[in-house]
Chains A and B, each alone.
Chain A
């Protein structure tokens, strides 16, 4: 087997047994990237020099048998909206095309401390606003399973890179489904952690109350390991929860007696019948393992997409106000005074979708609309949390589709805004309620991967890893694409 197909555990063994050095491994992945990425375009920046340096350091650790963690010497890709000191962090935008942060995001610091090898920064929809990775200033990313198709988004670069074996692991960010939907479209695992479990310090915000950084990987166990290495309380992020870091052990296998909720509302939508079939298959497997299916009801799910867009756009309009051309990033040449500097910089620096969201969000926060839109959305959000709390009295986790469709052809839906916005209907609820949600591959339809989503109560990531790991064992690895 080639290293590009290996799981984290297999790579670890190679390194620990000195069958391959971290430097050789990193070079191997860099070679694979050089071969595939011209076509896929998963990366905006490849940090070859930094990666080789980090790999040598990892080798030194391994030689001394000091400070070896599960990630020491392992190449990882980082979504390009997560700040990396001295390495361009563009958010896929002209606005930040040349922005070099002076500091590392907390998650990046943690990975560096663990000895991971950061190999590059991955493509995304501009400022993580989108679900197709078509709106990046640095060009679109293609789905390794079918190069004519989108990889999903906004973490499409990370998903494609992991799926194509360019890296074993990647970080994404998830505001309404931006980890899970591309993970599903690319046939890999992705986790949106509980809000407050992973520090947002250094994640360039889209919608602060919904954003979470999360892991993307090719196995459930790899996903869990990466999650455990990035999670935990951060004094630099007031919204993180002060909890002790969880211990990583081999995930327990038994699922007997666990109740899994099937929200009727999630299955009422226009779901691709093929996807529905795969979900029923998963449900069967769970039942056979001793899980108990329970029908649950989440009436407020109907409004999830509307609530999500109101809140996300409102927060985005504020979070993106700082790009004014004054201190860093793009500044228009077409400026004669302060006002024209602001106006032209933002006019030229942002793409269409970002501008659309800023304008709508600005509108939602004016007093004319504040109460009817923003406050109402917050009320809806509170009601959703109640609905979920009630449903979780009856089950330990829920099983839903991650997406209602398989990945579409590139540029096929560019102008169909409504269907684009509604495509996130399955995923946004977890962001709005702050609960963890995991997507795992559960088969293929016409050679395209399908994902299923698990959701649990806040802080119950372990349950999700257990279930996903079990199904992975039952279904075997879902393979495809152009490794």
Chain B
């Protein structure tokens, strides 16, 4: 029997704003507990929320990047429940009229290219954070509360149940992350919790039309965890189906990273327990065409289309195009180099993906912090193409540019790194090296081809790597031929 896995995601994304959704407090992280608070985000009696326009801007941005319809009236509702880290006894969210509806994200899966539908995106505020002395709030002696995160703006992106495997879910999340980073909607740091996702997953026999009862899986803190948790859960549900004991009611489960399994938490809450109703403290925000147009005009080219363009226009291999377009600063750097450099784009991507990424990782910095200027890399590649330096020297020049931010021509001049192409000079060194290593010549003559490489190496050593390797090879060959005869 074949089974089909049906997955829909609810992705929580912390918005990249300086201040909170409903007050002026900073969203800085990390900070001393309860230092970034005020009467509003502490829910003190009488304090009132005032919306952060930037958060609405970013909500619209996310909607446009995901091809959604933007609501003309942005309204807020109260979601009510009791919990110590929820200071007002309700969360300000959008239940009845989300800011965005019905969009999609196109994604190339191993099974082909598909559109994953976005059902809705809504804005909401974060709760505070609890630190329990024990395992949970009920069995702890005490719990500590930090309201720094209270009222930090979030969007929740809800997909249709369009994903068909845990791997697709993971890949969708990766793509979504790239888009949200690109558009400046979020930092998307899963470790810091600025990107989280819950998954609704069910299985059915292939060919069945009706969806099975689903489980909501929470607490997946990395892309890998998303895949692993959903694989576990799909397998579990299929086994239940095979034993003729499928899920009977919808339940919420948590991924246990240590034991690599999903654990039952509770049966799913029904909507009424939240008693949603329109928040009377916030009047509807009217989003007009100009507002949307202003944001659309500022929307950057999205990674998907960049990737396509790199393949078409620059003839980059698929993997290079995907990697470079996956980071906005990297893509911008790549394109900036190509403004100065008219050689092969693949040369540029090689340097970025190779040496540059290696150095960045080594120095543990972010791409946008590098000293290296794109014009400098373009200039270096020109010089390399002209044969003024060897590709080996180029590596030295590149590192120097990376650490100092200096121009390549200055580095080459100051350190005397120019390639030696003077035949006369190289001829002299070749002769000297041959005289110094008679054994190597004997070896060569007795058929050991490796000996020649050794001699080339010695010439390069004498010239501190600056000799044009092509010329060295030709001259050495000539001299060896002479001896043979």
Residues of A within 8 A of B (CB): 82-83, 89, 91, 96, 99, 101-103, 105, 200-205, 207-209, 235-239, 314-315, 317-318, 320-322, 324, 326-328, 337-339, 342, 362, 365-368, 370, 374
Contact = CB atoms under 8 A, between A and B. Distances in A.
Contact of B281 (A208, A322, A366): A208
A331 to B, nearest CB: 12
Nearest to B78: A318
Given A102-B39, A368-B272, A83 B88 contact: no
A365 B45 contact: no
| Chain B contact residues, majority secondary structure | loop
A327 B45 contact: no
B294 interface: no
Interface of B: 39, 42-51, 78, 80, 82, 84, 87-90, 137-138, 145, 271-272, 275-277, 280-283
A96 B45 contact: yes
Contacts of B43: 322, 327
A83 B46 contact: yes
B88 A322 contact: yes
A205 B280 CA distance: 11
21 contacts: A89-B46, A96-B45, A101-B46, A103-B39, A200-B46, A203-B46, A236-B50, A238-B48, A238-B283, A239-B280, A239-B283, A318-B80, A318-B277, A321-B88, A321-B89, A322-B88, A322-B89, A338-B137, A365-B275, A365-B276, A370-B277
Contacts of B277: 314, 318, 365, 370, 374
A367 B271 contact: yes
B138 to A, nearest CB: 6
Given A238-B283, A365-B277, A368-B272, A324 B45 contact: no
Contacts of B90: 318, 321
Contacts of A96: 45
B138 A208 contact: no
Given A338-B84, A342-B82, A201 B47 contact: yes
Given A238-B50, A318-B90, A337-B138, A103 B44 contact: yes
A321 B91 CA distance: 11
Contacts of B51: 238
Interface core residue of A82, A362, A367 (most chain B CB under 10 Å): A367
Contacts of A89: 45-46
A103 B42 CA distance: 12
A99 B275 contact: no
A99 B80 CA distance: 24
Given A318-B277, A322-B45, A327-B87, 18 more contacts: A83-B44, A91-B45, A96-B45, A101-B46, A103-B39, A200-B48, A201-B48, A205-B45, A205-B46, A236-B48, A238-B50, A239-B48, A315-B280, A318-B90, A322-B88, A327-B43, A342-B82, A366-B275
B269 to A, nearest CB: 12
A64 B219 CA distance: 65
A89 B47 CA distance: 13
Interface core residue of A82, A239, A318 (most chain B CB under 10 Å): A318
A237 B48 contact: yes
Contacts of B80: 318, 321, 365
A209 B280 contact: yes
A188 to B, nearest CB: 25
B282 A238 contact: yes
A6 to B, nearest CB: 32
Contacts of A370: 275, 277
A82 B47 CA distance: 11
